[in-house]
Amino acid sequence: MQKSSGGLKEWVYPFAFVFCAGWVIWHAPAYILDFAPHDNPSMLAQVTELHERKDVSPGLPGLFGGMTDAIDWLALILAPIFFALGMRSMVIAQMEFEHPSKIDTFAMFIGRITMILIISMTLVMLYEVFLRYMIEAPTLWANELTLWIAGFVFMLSGIYAMQQRSHIRIFILYDYLPRWAQHICDTLWVFLLCLFAFFMVFGSYKQVFIVKFYRWETFGTAFDPPIPATIQPMILITICLISIQAVVNLIADWNKDPSELLEKDLIDEEELEAIKKSVGAS
């Protein structure tokens, strides 16, 4: 990875992935009907009706005799391609954790995706404010879309924060321990995190993936976004990814001097001065 600016591609790849992933998520009922159709006729009819009502491209015929059309297949294929290209084009920002491994680029690109989602959420809110107060024609979808995107931002940022070691840590006692004892503490907390993730997935995967996702439960409003069907599975996926990233961090930091890791928790004077200048503070 380079150390200079990533240029336009650092904007294009995350945005392209978000667009393709958004298309896939919105048309997930079509994939469910093609890849894992319901045995229950009433549930099959319910998901079919939901797909037909929410389909953005209703005029296109399904490929291979199914419900997914050419755009659905294209988005499904391009989403992982753009994700891979985004990982390959990663450029470390000045404030980011240095010397990331190839595995770390996964979480770092998720950080870029999160940034695009924040921009998208802001644009949606600005659009709603304009329509509501300037034209007096508020939308039925802006508020719920903002909530939906915010849920993904909250979870995806946790993966990025774990990779950057920027989560809250209390190390008053930790700093006084010898290095071997610090290794024990690090291993113990990673083990407890993985144990928590295991029991979360074990205890709720049926409720989340069979009831919420497979039935494609929606929000029950005029816009009716599939918030329950997407956010709840994403919670379990995020917990697993954070646990994996914690294991990666443990291995990567095992032989490092604790002072190297502590530097990320110290105040960056140059950054502080730049913030002061931007707000006009002395």
pLDDT bracket for residue 213 (50, 70, 90): very high
pLDDT bracket for residue 189 (50, 70, 90): very high
DSSP state of 257: -
What pLDDT does residue 241 have? 96
What pLDDT does residue 8 have? 82
What pLDDT does residue 2 have? 47
Which element (helix H / strand E) includes 255? Answer: none
Domain boundaries, the chain: 1-91
pLDDT bracket for residue 102 (50, 70, 90): confident
Find where tokens 């393709």 sit: 20
Phi, psi dihedrals of residue 139, rounded to the nearest 5°: -90, 165
Closest-CA residue to 82 (of 60, 110, 48, 124): 110
> What confidence tens digit (pLDDT) does each residue in 151-172 have?
999 999 999 999 988 888 777 8
Closest-CA residue to 218 (of 41, 34, 47): 47
pLDDT bracket for residue 267 (50, 70, 90): low
CA distance 223 to 149: 14
Rounded to two decimals, what is the model's pTM? Answer: 0.87
CB of 113 within 8 A of CB of 14? yes
